[in-house]
Chain A
Amino acid sequence: AQKVTQAQTEISVVEKEDVTLDCVYETRDTTYYLFWYKQPPSGELVFLIRRNSFDEQNEISGRYSWNFQKSTSSFNFTITASQVVDSAVYFCALSEQDGGSNYKLTFGKGTLLTVNP
């Protein structure tokens, strides 16, 4: 069975600090996908990034960057120069094929990030 662990339940930083959110996953499949979603205080779930298991290139998007390491089964998310608007719950998710044509998502418990001014 697949599993996603976000060991950090809550993180609090001061604005402009860098912060890394950890995500460790377990899967027996060779083909899978990893995701990060953001849930701001307003409650919606916002897609941030998708990575497939064959692409270990790190990715940078503005102040956001992601480090995917298959050797340690980790897909960590770093926010550089954090801002108050980054305050949210961040979810890491793993997607595996369910035997049919669909990939089912398993979510971690989430990390609550609070950025203080």
Chain B
Amino acid sequence: DAGVIQSPRHEVTEMGQEVTLRCKPISGHDYLFWYRQTMMRGLELLIYFNNNVPIDDSGMPEDRFSAKMPNASFSTLKIQPSEPRDSAVYFCASRSGLRGSTDTQYFGPGTRLTVL
């Protein structure tokens, strides 16, 4: 089975530009998570969805960040306008919500974002 898929793997953009990161969770998983990893702050949870509905977005740094999940197999994280301090690796993760399943989150390969 395919794991969590993220695109692009690398993104370089200039300050002020819009950036869209994409994620396809593992089929059948109904929880989806967006994380950010930086040297200074480590791994931080930004937002998570359950059955395509945003449940907790308290980790989203500011209004420049937005996330959507239009269907069970696709989610986006958008930054508009981007700033150099947004440079980080962004991970998407998913897990099953079935009763009796483990709550293990499986991570995608990440998107390395560089904002110049």
A102 within 8 A of B: yes
Would B91 and A107 count as touching, CB distance under 8 A?
no
Question: Which of B11-19, B43-51, B67-75, B79-87 participates in binding chain A?
Answer: B43-51
Residue from A33, A37, A105 in contact with B45 in the complex, judged by beta carbons closer than 8 Å: A105
Cα distance, A58 to B42, chains bound together (Å): 28
Question: Which residue of chain A is the closest to B91 with respect to CB atoms?
Answer: A45
Mask: chain B, 76-111; 1 = CB below 8 Å from A; 0 = not: 000000000000010101000100001111111110
CB contacts (< 8 Å) of A110 on chain B: these are 42
**A58-116 residues at the B interface, CB under 8 angstroms:** 91, 95, 98, 100-105, 107-110
Contact pattern, B 14-41, Cβ under 8 Å of A = 1, otherwise 0: 0000000000000000010100000000
**A49 CB to nearest chain B CB (Å):** 9
Contact with B along A11-50 (1 / 0, CB 8 A): 0000000000000000000000101010000111111001
Which residues on B are within 8 Å of A, measured CB to CB?
31, 33, 42-43, 45, 48, 50, 55-56, 89, 91, 93, 97, 102-110, 112
Considering the complex of A and B, which 6 residue pairs feature the smallest CB-CB distances, nearest first? A45-B107, A107-B43, A103-B103, A44-B109, A50-B104, A109-B42
